[in-house]
Amino acid sequence: MTRANIIDGRELATTLRASVAAQVAKLRRRHDIVPGLAVVLVGADPASQVYVQSKERATVEAGMASFDHRLPADTDLATVLALIDRLNRDPAVHGILVQLPLPAGIDSAAVLQAIDPAKDVDGFHDLNAGRLACGRPSVIPCTPLGCLMLMRPHVEGGFAGKRALVIGCSTIVGRPMAQLLLAADCTVTIAHARTRDLATECRRAEILVAAAGCPGLVRGDWVMPDAVVIDVGINRVPRAGGTGTRLVGDVCFDEAVEVACAITPVPGGVGPVTIACLMVNTLAAACRRFGFSPPPEALV
């Protein structure tokens, strides 16, 4: 059996970011428009700080304006909502991203629903989620969009009719991922923590997306031979010998790579493409604001 192709997320992310930078430069040159992304971070969660720094760096490298808003962990809901309202009305801001999770005591749903749907570059607003569910997406959540891009070149014969399994039913990844695969004419199953005999469900899937947040959940003998495996999991586990930690996915990579047709690694798979897709969605939001066609990468 041939060892799986390892899908290089960093390579795709580099291509996407270069394309966005070129289109941003054209917008600036021809129309004096600079897409702007505002990132809101409440509290000092170390992982969230790293993510926010990566997003801000990517924004600047793409030639877009970056607006950084950091609030202390004891900020109340009213203050956060007032900031969102101000950003909604700011013409220099075309995209708004609130870094999750928010501290306990702040209603995440209330914050996300307060964002202008036209500036919701994460695609989490109910209006954008509903449009996706109806098959008429305007904003596609960054991680599912990236997953679709990563798997597309490796799905032999196209998506139509393929059996796809999504493990995880979050509104951030699992549910929108299932909607995208359904729109691509796959036969889609959603599994989760209460799914019985998950191994059997996995063995039926020609496309397997693992987004459960459970390290090493999917074993190699659960994977259908020649399946395309997209591992969204980012889990920090102790290193052998107890010296520090390392990142692993939801799939036992060393086992699945011997069975699958193609597989994403962790790290270096989905993560870099998610940030690149945030740049794509911010550019698309700016284009729509001024009546221009969004970049082709933002469409499915």
Residues labelled as active-site residues: 55, 99, 122
CB contact set of 55 (below 8 Å; sequence gap of 6+): 37, 39, 97, 275, 278
Q: Are 206 and 160 in contact (CB under 8 A)?
A: no
Q: Which amino acid belongs to residue 87? A: L
Across the chain, where does the E strand assignment appear? 5-6, 36-42, 65-71, 95-98, 163-167, 187-191, 207-210, 228-231, 235-238, 245-248, 262-263
**Side-chain half-sphere of 52: how many Cα atoms within 13 Å?**
24
Q: How far apart are CA 116 and CA 128, in angstroms?
A: 10
Q: How far apart are CA 231 and CA 214, in angstroms?
A: 11
Q: Are 186 and 300 in contact (CB under 8 A)?
A: no
267: preceding bond cis by omega (within 30 degrees): yes
> Which pair of tokens denotes residue 1?
């059996």
